[in-house]
Chains A and B, each alone.
Chain A
Amino acid sequence: MSYAIALRNRFGALQFQEYALALVVIGLFVAGAILKPDTFPTWDNVRNMLTQASVIGVLAVGMTFVIATSGIDLSVGSMVAAAGVFAGTMAEPSGGTLIFILAALAFAVLLGTVNATAITFGRVVPFIATLAMLSVARGLALIFNDKLPVGLLDLNGGSFGDPSPFSLLWFGTGKIFGIPVSVWIFLGVVVAGWVVLNRTRYGRHVVAVGGNREAARIAGVPVRRVIFSVYVLSGLLAGLATVLLCARLGSASPVSGELYELDAIGAVVIGGTSLAGGRATMVGTFLGVLTFALIFSLMTQLDLSTEIQQVTKGAIVLGAVLIQRPEGRY
């Protein structure tokens, strides 16, 4: 037992899981290349996969921080919809891209702050607080524009076409060195998330709070402030995800972002971050996002229905949690 722990520790439990997951990603890619040699291993397909993954990916980075504190944020999908419609109505008549982006970020941060306040000052458990926000934000998304989506093509002269740099659609479909801007942003957020989580005092505090709140408090970690901050951060990144999503679709829909929370939580969990807190890995989250993206791209190309994809998604998340079963007993 102690030998097993020592061995695990020598290799690092997290790193082991990260290597294993990297192998899964490679395996999935190879499987796709074998099953669909003409369409799967193409640059176009990879670019598509990454572009689609970027929205969930940005949410998953925020979710990693939240889950590291042993919390959960169920409201990210609804926040994406609400922030999108809100920003759309703000920007639509006369405003520009900048107004849309600022409005989306600000509104999502506001919703995240409501979550944070309820959890830290109201002492509502995160599950309930964010479940309530899931409903509230979805309702707001429907109210803001009378249940209708807001078209955003005007921000690019009325069509998808070739987006000019820094117009809204450029963030969704524009490219830098052949790689979509949204993918650059996703990668940038992952790298920044890794640095903050592993190389700053704040990141260390986040994981400490999740690992042992009382021990963290005795060691002088400002526990309440840390917990507050992760929900605000999750809101901020939901705002960023809103921008990426709306930019790609050219509209802000009140029914967008449904079940995104499941995808984000699933990616974090199969990445190896512990739902019990105290153990978090940004590399794992990144690989988790890629795993999901690969699986669904492959399933779509194999003409498997979205129903089957949903069943698969849930099964993968359950399986991942079972594999990293915590030491706790029932």
Chain B
Amino acid sequence: MSGAAPTAAGPGAAAGEILLDVRGLVKTYPGVEALRGVDFNVRAGEVHCLLGANGAGKSTLIKCVSGVVEPTAGEILVGGEPLPERDTGAALERGVATIYQELDLVEDLSVAQNIFLGHEPRRGPLLDLGRMRSEARDLLARLGHDKIDPRTPLAALRPAARQAVSIARALSYEVRVLIMDEPSAILDAGEVETLFEVVRRLTAEGVGVVYITHRLDEIKRIGDRVTVLADGATAADGIAADTATDELVWLMVGRKVERLYPERPRAAGEVLLEVRGVRALPAVRGVSFEVRAGEVLGIGGLVGSGRSELLRAICGLDPREAGEVTVAGKRLPPNRPERAIAAGLGLAPEDRKSQGLLLDWSLTKNVSLADLGRFSHGLLDVRGEREAVREQLRSLQTVPDDPDRSARELSGGNQQKVVLGRWLLRECRVLLLDEPTRGVDIPSKAEIYRIVTELAGRGLGVVVVSSELEELAGICTRVLVMREGEIVAELDGAKTSERELLAHAVVPTAGPDLIEEVA
């Protein structure tokens, strides 16, 4: 698939047996090919890093391997044997445990209870609390975290300690392959060291670790081999972890892209949205910027950098603790989304299905929801409503454009158009788009880019939040980069590149040398 041919295991790789072997894995969702033939294996005692841009298929791969979703085609061999179908517990029983970014722990239970949740040691019909505690203590000691008391309620622990509990829980299941999804994302520098120490202890015991990260510098420090995913396929299969950083970045993003982006709009008009010192802790720590009529402003950054939370705080969906938001000269109250909408703000949320749409409702009702006042003269003019919606759907070239269809029947790209249609009907002035192309196939992406550009051309101010830094570099007039709740860079869209954005988005330790190597 790429220039870098799969090489033999890197110098650091242990020559252990292959514990997990993934061959030609394909997973399709309606309208989206999430995985298009992925090869990947994990040996005993190694740390195998998994790298890829957002949407490259890392999550889908993990979900397939841990048995949460069923692959469409391909093989997953655990210890040489295929994983049985339709059995979510099978992977865990065979020693493949996953630690997700959102730790699946119960805050109200104690550390020991969390570790043994679902397989508590028992004496007859009763819980064997003594054994539970002592075994929990042993597991934590194995990880070098013997300071954590098994009786502490989980809620009292810091993120790093919680993560250790989560790992101890995995160990309580005789784990052979441990998959860690961005384990360092919630940790500070010191805590990352502790995490690495834990990982080294595990590999010394012969556990194979799959380590997913966005921080390129970590790969060299902890990894033995790297697999790079790009667009659902393996761009590099198990190459040495000391591969040059710019080579890795190139593998991540250097795929050929068709002419996807329309002519870039230029900001010319007056300031429509002004954001001053907005704070909504812990995610947003003082952000200021402005959006002009006719401009597409990108906000890039890694997942968890506070971008979605910033949009929600701007709209008043999550209350602002400090800062001012002004739309077309009107100052917005800190926690009243309906006032923000009245002032001309419109948000297309990150998750269309759970936040954007009423899936069982007709397209008519979905589009008109934010602007029923227009059709309400005492009673609703349902015929006028339906016609106006039909017109809106047609102008966005939604398929189907039948206003009576339910939103559930539409593909991701068309659902996004329905959400856009809602705000266009409302004639909003500033459109905030959160991951507008997530889960959308390439042709629909191109259409959404065209629509966004057209809207800016009509004088709207458009804010696009995206994890796909490439698309920000492709369509935006200006791009802001967020990291840890703050804006760390402002770049001219026409001059910047995905690599430059990525360099600003990753943590500072990786920043400087990455720029040197890339630029």
Which residue numbers of A lie inside 8 Å of B, CB to CB?
Answer: 2, 5-6, 9, 195, 199-201, 204-205, 208, 211-212, 214-222, 278-279
**Residue among B359, B369, B405 with the highest chain A CB neighbour number at 10 A:** B369
Partner of A222, one of B338, B357, B361: B338
- Closest beta carbon of chain A to B198's beta carbon, Å: 35
Tell whether, in the assembled complex, residue B406 and residue A215 are in contact, meaning their CB atoms are under 8 Å apart: no
Contacts of A204 in B (CB 8 A): 365, 369, 372, 380
In contact, A278 and B360 (Cβ under 8 angstroms): yes
Name the segment of B85-93, B341-349, B438-446 touching the other chain: B341-349
Please determine whether B358 and A208 come into contact, CB atoms closer than 8 angstroms: yes
User: Are B379 and A200 within 8 A (Cβ)?
Assistant: yes
Q: Which of B354, B369, B378, B409 contacts A219 (CB 8 A)?
A: B369
Of A195, A199, A211, A220, the contact of B361 (CB 8 Å cutoff)? A211
- A201-B376, A214-B354, A220-B370 known; A9 and B338 CB under 8 Å? no
Complexed CA–CA distance, A221 and B373 (Å): 11
- Cβ-defined contact, A221 with B369, below 8 A: yes
CB-CB < 8 A to B422: which residues of A? Answer: 219
B382 in contact (CB, < 8 A): yes
Complex-state Cα separation, A84 to B408, whole angstroms:
47
Q: A211-B360, A279-B360 are in contact. Are A217 and B337 (CB under 8 A)?
A: yes
For chain B residues 325-383, which have a beta carbon within 8 Å of chain A? 337-338, 341-342, 347, 349, 354-361, 365, 369-370, 372-373, 376, 378-380, 382
Q: When chains A and B are docked, how far (Å) is the Cα of A93 from the Cα of B312?
A: 59
> Distance (Å) between the CB of A5 and the closest chain B CB?
6
Inter-subunit contact A218/B337 (CB<8 Å): yes
Query: Contact at B338–A220, with CB atoms within 8 Å?
Result: yes
Complex alpha-carbon distance, A158 and B359, angstroms = 58
Q: Judge if B115 is at the interface, Cβ distance under 8 Å.
A: no
| 20 sample A-B contacts, Cβ–Cβ < 8 Å, listed by A number | A5-B406, A199-B379, A199-B382, A201-B372, A204-B365, A205-B372, A211-B361, A212-B359, A214-B349, A215-B358, A217-B337, A218-B317, A218-B337, A218-B347, A218-B349, A219-B370, A220-B338, A278-B358, A278-B360, A279-B360
* Residues A195 and B379 in contact in the complex (CB < 8 Å), given A6-B409, A219-B369: yes
Distance from A122 Cβ to chain B, minimum over Cβ atoms (Å): 18
A-B pairs, top 8 by smallest CB distance, nearest first, are A220-B341, A201-B372, A219-B370, A211-B358, A219-B369, A220-B338, A201-B376, A199-B379
Q: How far is the CA of A221 from the CA of B382 in the complex (A)?
A: 19
Contact B355 A214 (CB under 8 A): yes
Q: DSSP majority for the A interface?
A: helix
**Contact of B380 with A221 in the complex, beta carbons under 8 Å:** no
Among A6, A200, A218, A279: residue with most chain B CB under 10 A: A218
Let me know if B356 and A215 touch, CB within 8 A: yes
In-complex Cβ contact of B380 among A201, A214, A215, A222 (8 A): A201
B405: chain A residues at CB < 8 Å are 9
Give the docked Cα–Cα distance between A218 and B379 (Å). 24
In Å, the complex CA distance between A9 and B354 comes to 20
* Chain A positions within 8 Å of B378 at CB level: 200
Interfacial residues of chain B within 405-419, with CB under 8 A of chain A in the complex: 405-406, 408-409
Q: Does B469 contact A (CB under 8 A)?
A: no
Residues of B with C-beta under 8 A to A5:
406, 408-409
Cβ of B315 within 8 Å of any chain A Cβ, yes or no, is yes
Q: In the complex, how many residue pairs between chain A and chain B have their CB atoms under 8 Å apart?
A: 74
Which residues of chain A have C-beta atoms less than 8 A from B372's C-beta? 201, 204-205
- Chain A residues, CB < 8 A from B341: 219-220
Residues of B within 8 A of A221 (CB): 338, 369
A215 to B422, CA, bound (A): 12
- The reply to whether the CB of B174 lies closer than 8 angstroms to some CB of chain A is no
Question: Known contacts being A201-B372, A204-B372, A211-B360, is A218 close to B315, with CB within 8 Å?
Answer: yes
Q: What is the minimal beta-carbon distance from A178 to any residue of chain B, in angstroms?
A: 31
A210 CB to nearest B CB, Å: 9
Q: Is the CB of B406 within 8 A of A212?
A: no
B405 to A, closest residue via Cβ: A9
Interface flags for B89-114 (1: CB within 8 Å of A; 0: not) read 00000000000000000000000000
| Contact partners of B357 in chain A: CB under 8 A | 212, 215
Q: How distant is the Cα of A212 from the Cα of B369 in the complex, in angstroms?
A: 12
Alpha-carbon distance between A2 and B410 when the two chains are bound, in angstroms: 10
Most-contacted residue by chain B among A5, A9, A195, A205 (CB, 10 A): A9
Complex contacts, B404 vs chain A, CB 8 Å: 9
State how many angstroms separate the Cβ of A325 from the closest Cβ of chain B: 14
Q: How far is the CB of B292 from chain A (nearest CB, A)?
A: 24
User: Which residues 222-249 of B sit at the A interface, judged by CB distance below 8 A?
Assistant: none
* A215-B356, A217-B317, A221-B369 known; A9 vs B380 contact (CB < 8 Å): no
Closest Cβ–Cβ distance, residue A2 to chain B (whole Å): 7
Q: Which of A201, A212, A216, A220 has the most CB of B within 10 A?
A: A220
Q: How far, in whole Å, are A208 and B315 apart by their CA atoms in the complex?
A: 19
B406: chain A residues within 8 A (beta carbon): 5, 9
Q: Which of B337, B365, B372, B379 has the most CB of A within 10 A?
A: B372
User: Chain A's nearest CB lies how many Å from the CB of B283?
Assistant: 17
**B315 to A9, Cβ gap below 8 A?**
no
* A201 and B317 alpha carbons, distance in the complex (Å): 22
Which of chain B's residues have a CB closer than 8 A to the CB of A215?
A: 349, 354-358
Sample of 10 more A-B contacts, CB < 8 Å, known A2-B409, A208-B365: A5-B408, A5-B409, A6-B409, A204-B365, A212-B358, A214-B354, A215-B356, A215-B357, A218-B337, A221-B369
Closest residue of chain B to A6 (Cβ to Cβ) is B409
In the complex, chain B residues whose CB is within 8 Å of the CB of A2: 409
CA distance A211 to B376 in the complex (A): 21
- Residues on A with C-beta less than 8 A from B369 are 204, 208, 216, 219, 221
How far does the alpha carbon of A151 sit from the alpha carbon of B370 in the complex, in Å? 51
B360 neighbours in A (Cβ, 8 Å): 211, 278-279
Q: Which of A201, A216, A222 touches B373 (beta carbons < 8 Å)? A: A201
**B355 and A218: CB pair below 8 A?**
yes
What residues on A are CB-neighbors of B355 within 8 Å?
212, 214-215, 218
Q: Could you tell me if A220 and B337 are in contact, using CB atoms closer than 8 angstroms?
A: yes
Cα A6 to Cα B349 in complex, Å, equals 26
How many angstroms between the C-alpha atoms of A261 and B190 in the bound complex? 59
Chain B's nearest CB lies how many Å from the CB of A277?
10
Residues of B within 8 A of A208 (CB): 358, 361, 365, 369
Chain B neighbourhood of A205, CB < 8 A: 372
